[in-house]
Amino acid sequence: MAARHLLDSWEELKTDLADRSLYLFLDYDGTLSPIVRDPGRAILSLRMKRRLERLVRAGRCRIAVISGRALPDIRDRVGIAGIVYGGNHGLEVEGAGVTYRCPVPFTARRALDDVRGKLEKALSPVPGVFLEDKGLSLTVHFRKAKRAELPVVERAVEEAASPYRIPGGIDVRPGKEVFELRPFIAWNKGKTVLWLLEEGTAGGEALVPVCVGDDRTDEDAFRAVRDRGVTVFVGAPRQTKARYYLRNVGEVAEFLGRLARI
C-alpha cells in the first residue's frame, strides 16, 4: 500500500492520537536536520529545537532520537534534556533515565579495527572520501567524491569487509552517500524501538509509537511497529514500509508543531 501524505491525512490522524500517549522515535539526519555536504555541519535549526522542547515540556509523549551517529555526537547535536538518545542505530542508548548498551562481540570489534586500517590505506588517495570512526561502527562518506570514483570506493569496502561478512563479524549497509560498516548482530533500529517501547510502557499504559525517518535503517523501525503505530517516511515515498510520508525536514517541523498543539 502506497504511503499517504501525513499532513493531508492530519484530521483523521489527529482524532486517532488525541487521547493516546505517544512515544516519538525520530531519526536525525534527513529528518530533524537537512542532509548537508559536510555531516559535521548538520545542525538542528532553532525552529526544530523549539518544537522538540515544547513537546518535551508538554509531557504527553516520550521522545527518542535514534541516529547512526555516535551517541555523544547525536546527544550534543540535539542537546535537549528529557530526550532518550540512541547512537549507532541503537547500539548505545542513554537519556531520560534510560541506559542500554548492546553487547557487541569481541570478534566484531576486532574486525572493525582491521577493516578501518585497510580502508584508511585504500581510501586515503581518493579525494572527497572520508572515514568516520563511531566506535561501534564505521562510516565511509562519499558525498563529496566524484561519481567516477565510486567503483573504487565500493571495491575497497567490499574487499576490506568480505572476510568478515558473517554473524559476529561485520555487516555492510549502503545509506545515503555512505557505506555503514557495523557489527553483524541481531540488533537494529527496529529492535531498539521495540525495546524502548517495552521499557517505557513497563507498569503503565500502552504507548503508541510514532516513527519518523528517511533512510534504509529507518525501514527496520517501520517494519517493527507498522501494525501498532504511526510510521512516517521523510522524502519522496518510493519504496517504503511506512504508512505516511512527509516531503522534507520543514514538513517534519510542521508535524511536530501540530502534535504539540493536540
Which of the stretches 13-21, 119-127, 190-198, 206-214 binds Mg ion when contact is defined by CB under 5 A? 206-214
Q: Does 73 bind Mg ion (CB under 5 A)?
A: no
Q: Report the greatest alpha carbon distance in the chain.
A: 57
- DSSP, res 228: T
**Catalytic-labelled residue, pool 16, 27, 171, 220:** 27
**Least distance in angstroms from the C-beta of 198 to Mg ion:** 24
Cβ proximity to Mg ion: between 164 and 222 the closer is: 222
Output the CA–CA distances (angstroms, integers) from residue 14 to 17, 55, 168, in the order listed. Answer: 5, 15, 43
Cβ proximity to Mg ion: between 68 and 169 the closer is: 68
Is residue 27 annotated as a catalytic residue, yes or no?
yes
Whether 260 contacts 58, CB under 8 Å: yes
Q: Does 214 bind Mg ion (CB under 5 A)?
A: yes
Q: Does 29 bind Mg ion (CB under 5 A)?
A: yes
C-alpha cell at 229: 503505530
Cβ proximity to Mg ion: between 17 and 249 the closer is: 249
**Least distance in angstroms from the C-beta of 125 to Mg ion:** 29
Instruction: Say if residue 147 is exposed, middle or buried (CB neighbours under 10 Å; 0-12, 13-18, 19+).
Output: exposed
**Element (DSSP H or E) covering residue 22:** strand 22-26
Number of residues that bind Mg ion (CB under 5 A): 5
Cβ proximity to Mg ion: between 207 and 249 the closer is: 249
Angle of helix 249-261 versus helix 10-17 axis, rounded to 10: 40
Instruction: For residues 201 and 198, give the distance between their C-alpha atoms in angstroms, rounded to a whole number.
Output: 5
**Closest residue to Mg ion, based on beta-carbon distance:** 30
Cβ proximity to Mg ion: between 169 and 235 the closer is: 235
The correct pick among 3, 30, 187, 237 for binding Mg ion (CB under 5 A) is: 30
Buried-exposed string 113-125: b where 16+ CB fall within 10 A, e elsewhere: eebeebbeebbee
**Least distance in angstroms from the C-beta of 30 to Mg ion:** 4
3-state SS assignment for residue 241: coil
Q: Does 180 bind Mg ion (CB under 5 A)?
A: no
**Least distance in angstroms from the C-beta of 137 to Mg ion:** 14
Residues that bind Mg ion (CB under 5 A): 27, 29-30, 214-215
Residue numbers annotated as active site: 27
